[in-house]
Amino acid sequence: MNNGMSDKSAGRMAAALEAVYRAFDGRPPSVIHGCPCCITTRGTDVLLTTPLRQITGQALWRYVSGAFLTVGDVQDFRYLLPRVLDVSVFDPSNANYPEVVLGKLSLANWRTWEVDEQDAIEEFIDAWFEHVLEAELALAGDDEINGDIEHILCGAACAGMAPDRWFGRLDEPNVVPIVSNLKEHLPSKPSGFWEEVPEAFHQLRSFLDHRLT
């Protein structure tokens, strides 16, 4: 389960996920609405009849990709959100990109939700960042950094969370390999999702430009 995480970080990730499940615990909606020509192709029935923690990433994928665009509303998104986040961390090969998942929070106007719900989401994203950062650092010695930390930073930005939230962590000496990778990668091949949050992108670039010079 820990995928390179320390016991402390793994515990934080598990606790943050459980907090999200508690914050959004509720009965499934009776139906998921959507565009008539799209709803039948997105397998929404299984999302309402399968116990939440047993819904697979493959079953969620089409719903998440179309959420608030061709299918779904805030009610069903809130119900499914804990499992969507769960799969995103622990079954990423069957999950949507973090930028897509976290970007849906903005479409759901999550900053209007109850404070405890917002706090649970923020702590989850913080724990997710640390989870990915530790996994990246575990690969750094073999020069196999895959750049997943950029996806978390960009996804969080798509949710409306500025990247400077994590600059203190990225400034720590042991994180130099990750910062070096980001600095080398971002100018030439940034995630296309940064186009949706240009201010956050420039903030991150400015931070990187003043590191390792």
pLDDT over 70, % of the chain: 90
> What distance in Å separates the CA atoms of residue 201 and residue 194, rounded to the nearest whole number?
6
Do residues 150 and 191 make contact, with C-beta atoms less than 8 angstroms apart?
A: yes
- Distance of CA 179 to CAs 140, 188, 213, Å? 11, 15, 12
> What distance in Å separates the CA atoms of residue 31 and residue 21, rounded to the nearest whole number?
21
pLDDT of residue 2: 42
| The model's pTM | 0.91
Give residue 156's pLDDT band: very low, low, confident or very high (50, 70, 90). very high
Please, where are the H alpha helices in the chain?
7-23, 36-39, 44-49, 57-66, 74-90, 98-107, 115-140, 148-158, 167-170, 176-185, 198-209
